[in-house]
Structure 1
Amino acid sequence: MIAIAPTGVRVGCRVIRDGDEGHLLPEEARSIPARQPAMRRASGAARWIAHGLLTELGANGVAIPRAPVGAPVWPDGITGSLAHDDDMAVAAVAPIGHISSLGIDVEPAQPLPDDIFALVAIPADRTDAADRHLAGRILFAAKEAVYKAVYPLDREVLGYEDITVDLNSGQAKTKTGRKVRLAYCDAPRVVVLAFVEAR
């Protein structure tokens, strides 16, 4: 998965394990209202990855609390993103510089159900370059990752119809005109990394 990341972006993944909620630092644990053990385990796994990536950037032992809007709060000068499905957690971090914002999403490598595809896809989306069985799932993950990347910059709530994805060129655009680059892999999980380059 590291191969999908542009220069300067650190990415990691791991299988969620029993006890991963124990990786939450006290400030993180207080900020995550979920009482369901599975949700706290997944949050702990994703933050455990992110803590390691942040240490590589010289930010050791820094908490990544959850903001009231649900997004992780990163240290000054750092952008990042967390995601998980039922089994896998992923994280991406980068110093703010030529990359101004990141978003990441992970999904099972399975076809997207038709009813969800109908909600996600718009006629302008382009997915010809993707595996046809997984194109819908990659599209879904791409729009989730794009939203995570642009929300901290624009503070605007976007629906799936507000994001146009072109997997052929590895780009996306929002209704606000924000341009986002995309990179993805589809095995063993669908992982999409969205990143906004500094202008």
Structure 2
Amino acid sequence: MTTPPEVALAQTSLLRAMAAIAPGSVRIGCRVIRDADETHLLPEEARSLPARQPAMRCASGAARWIAHGLLAEFCVNDTAVLRAPSGAPVWPEGITGSLAHDNEMAVAAIAPVGRIASLGIDVEPALALPDDILALVATRADRTDAADRHLAGRILFSAKEAVYKAVYPLDREILGYEDIAVDLDAGHATTKTGRRVSLAYCVAPRVVVLAFVEQGAG
């Protein structure tokens, strides 16, 4: 099936923006979600996913399709990325990574465990965050002055989602938004457990935040 030009442009633009923020050892990818993307799930992956709406399975298929390609860059082929009971993806030994999607776009990031101990990624539409959600997410400890004023709340929300994904495999602790202090100005976040997480983000054509814990941090 031929990819429509506008879809190809969206993927290319976002991939370029993501590549500009990723550390050198991190491989990243994105894909506009298509109706048949659930067919990209390997049989084991499909069985590990709970029975959900078709749209959610398409999104999971798109994210794992990206992950399969990224893993191949590290010569890891035909490996299922299962869903753990916690909801987190299960990566092959020696690999850390993260998956995310919104209603239209799926993203993935992976890296060999080494300088980077754990990764988290999140994607959101480049739209202002509704005030009621912002009230739940933001705390007095957060710093967002460096971000675009219109998108600062959305970036903050995405950052806390990405940070949680990065630290949960290390600490196995449930965190609320109030348990993560984000400093977008300095490019890092700190959890209530004292874990320090580096942050990088892009805002065009979607908001994507990459969170990563370096070996020895926290």
Which bracket does the TM-score occupy, shorter chain normalised?
Answer: over 0.9
Q: Which runs of 4+ in 1 moved over 4 A?
A: none
Match of 2:197 among 180, 185, 188: 180
| Cα distance between partner residues in 2 of 1:49 and 1:22 | 13
TM-score, normalised to structure 1, is: 0.99
Match of 1:125 in 2: 142
1:151 aligns with 2:168: yes
Match of 2:19 in 1: 2
Deviations 1:139-169 (A, max 9, x none): 0000000000000000000000000000001
Q: What residue ranges of structure 1 are gaps of 5+ in the alignment?
A: none
| Cα distance between partner residues in 2 of 1:198 and 1:7 | 15
Q: What residue ranges of structure 2 are gaps of 5+ in the alignment?
A: 1-17
Deviations 1:77-132 (A, max 9, x none): 00000000000000000000000000000000000000000000000100001000
| Cα distance between partner residues in 2 of 1:78 and 1:179 | 20
1:137 aligns with 2:161: no
| Cα distance between partner residues in 2 of 1:122 and 1:35 | 33
Match of 2:33 in 1: 16
What secondary structure sits across from 1:81 in the alignment? strand
Q: State the shift of 1:3 in Å.
A: 1.0
Match of 2:113 among 96, 103, 111: 96
The sequence identity of aligned pairs, in percent, is 79
* C-alpha RMSD of the superposition: 0.5
Match of 1:31 among 28, 43, 48: 48
TM-score, normalised to structure 2, is: 0.91
Q: Tell me the amino acid that sits aligned with residue 184 of structure 2.
A: L
Q: Tell me the amino acid that sits aligned with residue 148 of structure 1.
A: K
Number of aligned residue pairs:
199
